[in-house]
Structure 1
Amino acid sequence: MTNDRDRPTPPSDLDRDAGEALARLEDRDADDLRAIAAYLEDLAAWTESATDESDERAATGSTPSNPDGDVGEDIDDGHEYPEGVPDRATVTVKEIADTTYYYYQWRDGDRIESKTVQRKNGSW
């Protein structure tokens, strides 16, 4: 059996909620704690990535509906979404070589779904 004085202590700079969450985890078995630690590492990496993307969008002037910051056609409120695309989807419109592309993206649970529709020379 290990000595209790060798037991790790939580970081002192955590807020109250985080400290309480750690206290609830102290009696978990080693496998649970390792699984939780792996999840928290993944969550930290994802949070950093999301923060980096947000900072990049702010610097480049892009928005979630126009992630590349490209100037494209505005989608008016009467825009009809293709079948299978929810109204909450973000839309990016780009014109490349006389072809207009509509890029739709939306979240479905933990997955990001997308659909691309193209219109050549004003026709679908």
Structure 2
Amino acid sequence: MSEGEKPTPPADLEDDLSEALEALSKRDPETIDAVATYVSELAAWAESTSESKYPDGVPERATVSKTEIAGTTYRYYQWRDGDEIRSETVALD
């Protein structure tokens, strides 16, 4: 994309998503930024609640967050075990 050229949405989107993105492209920059923030948070939520396999010893009730450190992405699992808070960190491939 060259400077001043409108970005092209991914080609493999469903028609209703393409229409929504086209409508969004006509909004002011502040609205687009707010939607971008929401969509990023929505993606993080969807990934954290998706059907993912928990490591051995980590209960399915554990809270899962994802972070990137020095180019490596990690999943951080945290849960309560009685009076203690336990955690496990797993590097993603």
How many residues get paired? Answer: 59
CA distance in 1, matches of 2:52, 2:6: 39
1:13 aligns with 12
1:55 aligns with 52
Structure 1 residue 19, shift from structure 2 partner: 0.6
CA distance in 2, matches of 1:47, 1:55: 11
The structure carrying a bigger strand percent of its residues is 2
CA distance in 2, matches of 1:55, 1:9: 31
Structure 1 residue 56, shift from structure 2 partner: 2.8
- Matched letter for residue 53 of structure 2: E
Moved over 3 A (4+): none
Structure 1 residue 13, shift from structure 2 partner: 1.3
Gaps of 5+ in 2: 63-81, 83-93
Identity %: 37
RMSD: 2.7
Higher relative contact order (CA 8 A, sep 6+): 2
Query: How does the TM-score come out when normalised to structure 2?
Result: 0.52
- Matched letter for residue 52 of structure 2: D
Larger Rg computed on CA atoms? 1
SS class of match (2:12)? coil
CA distance in 2, matches of 1:17, 1:48: 22
Query: How does the TM-score come out when normalised to structure 1?
Result: 0.40
